Amino acid sequence: MSREGNRSPLKAVASNIAAVRSFAIVAVLAMGGLFAAPWAIGQTHVSGHGRNALDPAPLPEPVKTYGSKTAPIRIEVFSDYQCPSCGNFYKTTLRALINDYVAAGKVYLVHRDFPLPMHQYSYQAARWANAAARVGRFAEVEGALYDNQAAWSLDGNIQKFVAAAVSSHDLEHIEKLMTGCAAPPPASVKPAGMTMAQQSTQACSVDAFISQDVALGKQVPVTQTPTFVIYNKGQKISTVPGQISWDILKKFLDSLLAQ
Amino acid sequence: MTTPEESKGQRRRAGRFLLVLGRILLAAVFLFSAYMKLKPQFPGAQWSIASVRTSLAMFSLEVDAYQILPPWGVTFVANTLPLFELGLGLWLLSGLALRYSSVLASLLLGGFFSVMVRSYIRGLDINCGCFGPGDRLGPRTLVRDGTLLALSLAVTIGAFIANRERADSSVGSAPAILPHSAE
């Protein structure tokens, strides 16, 4: 005798009806949701429209760069000196990149400031780094800021670490450039806890460099730090938000260079 | 007026139609996902082994951003996942052993979804990497992948039901053969 014959016909039909109905409901809901969801795969490349906005340089050339401009690959890193991920990214990935691919003329690395309002001292750190960049000591100061991030993030005493990273002669120049830089940053990058009354006009000579970078970052758009934009032979390849390990970035750069 | 048998048959046909539709949709998603990850990522670039290598290396940046796997794991996943998706898409499209292919698809999508939810809760503002570079991880991508997971589960359930119905009907038709075999 068949299995069908062992079951009550009514029960079998009821079981099938319930099964088909439940499947149909789940499937219809799933497919409905799929089409209702904003399925705009094409929108994933919206950031690519920012390419032309990044290329022109209406303000002076960035002074926070490593390597040769003629390198086939250009990487622009948007970072915040007080962001822990940026510190890790610098120490574990960017430092290796600078020592290896930048030194070999394969990569041109551009630092872009993107101080986040949530970090109390990041804007001031960016000012110190920009002032150092104007006297050709950006690499030393950037390294010092990231290496001692945990220390100056507590009290905002950035000058101490800048002084330790450069000669007294360079420090004198940097401090001169920092004249007027005790004023609060512009409203667009206002640190947490600062009132509008505390805002002032830009009196600091290096604020223009930071504002330029922030404006470029907003066009990318940068929503977190670090975020880096990769160009190959002048063509924008990718915008990567987040921290990437050196091994993985190295493989990617090798594949680009092999093309 | 339709008899219970006719009504049952209509429902079965509707269920099979939905199952085929869901299976094809799921296959299309996997094939599209694999294509987006493997295709040349630069405008004007041609398909070549080098372009595929670069595409996979670019995908590895997205996988690494999740900060879950060590570098060797990132490389392994980035190099194998697009090919796995391609194979799974073709398998689903063929309809062969649908129960197994749909279970595999559900496990894969479930894994993706849980990793995405975890990263979103951790506050990682990264690319999803679901359909190649770009595509920022956020509520939109979570809704989309959750919906795909629901679809995959529906296809899996449907595949098991269809298999049971086939088994029942084949056993049900046995009495017509039994007298001959008894002879």
- Interchain CB distance below 8 Å, A41 and B165: no
Q: What is the mean pLDDT of residues B91-108?
A: 96
**pLDDT at position B136:** 85
Q: What's the whole-model pTM score?
A: 0.74
What pLDDT sits at residue B109? 97
Through-space distance between the first and last CA atoms of chain A, rounded to whole angstroms: 69
What is the spatial distance between Cα A107 and Cα A101, in angstroms, rounded to a whole number?
6
Q: Among all residues of chain B, which has the CA nearest to that of A48? A: B134
Query: Is residue A9 scored above 70 in pLDDT?
Result: no
pLDDT band at A224 (very low <50, low <70, confident <90, very high): confident
Give me the residue spans of the domains in chain B.
Answer: 18-168
Higher pLDDT, A203 or A255: A255
Predicted confidence at residue A21, as pLDDT, reads 58
B-chain residues within 8 Å CB-CB of A47? 134
Residue A199, Cβ neighbours under 10 Å: how many? 13
Q: For chain A, state the CA radius of gyration.
A: 27
Q: Are A225 and A116 in contact (CB under 8 A)?
A: yes
Whether the Cβ atoms of residue A131 and residue A161 lie closer than 8 Å to each other: no
Contact between B65 and A44 using a beta-carbon 8 Å cutoff? no
The residue-averaged pLDDT of A109-137 equals 92
ipTM: 0.78
Q: Is B129 on the interface with A (CB under 8 A)?
A: no
Split at pLDDT 50, 70, 90, the class of A149 is: very high
Interface residue A233 vs chain B (CB under 8 A): no
Residues of B in contact with A244 (CB under 8 A): 61, 64-65
The encoded tokens of residue A211 equal 């504002």
CB A109 within 8 A of CB A94: yes
For range A83-112, the mean pLDDT: 95
pLDDT band of residue B170 (cuts 50, 70, 90) is: confident
Residue that the structure tokens 């089409």 belong to? A35
Whether residue A42 lies within 8 A of chain B, CB to CB, comes out as: no
The verdict on a CB contact (< 8 Å) between A249 and B61 is yes
Contact A69, A32 (CB under 8 A): no
Does the beta carbon of A221 lie under 8 angstroms from any beta carbon of chain B? no
User: Of A1, A13, A17, A20, which to mutate for an interface test with B (greatest number of B Cβ within 10 Å)?
Assistant: A20
What per-residue confidence (pLDDT) applies to A52? Answer: 41
Structure tokens at B17: 């139609």
CA distance A227 to A220: 9
Token pair belonging to B93: 């499209």
Per-residue confidence (pLDDT) for residue A40, from 0 to 100: 32
Does the beta-carbon distance from B134 to A254 stay under 8 Å?
A: no
pLDDT tens digit sequence for A18-58: 555 555 554 444 444 444 333 333 222 222 333 344 444 44
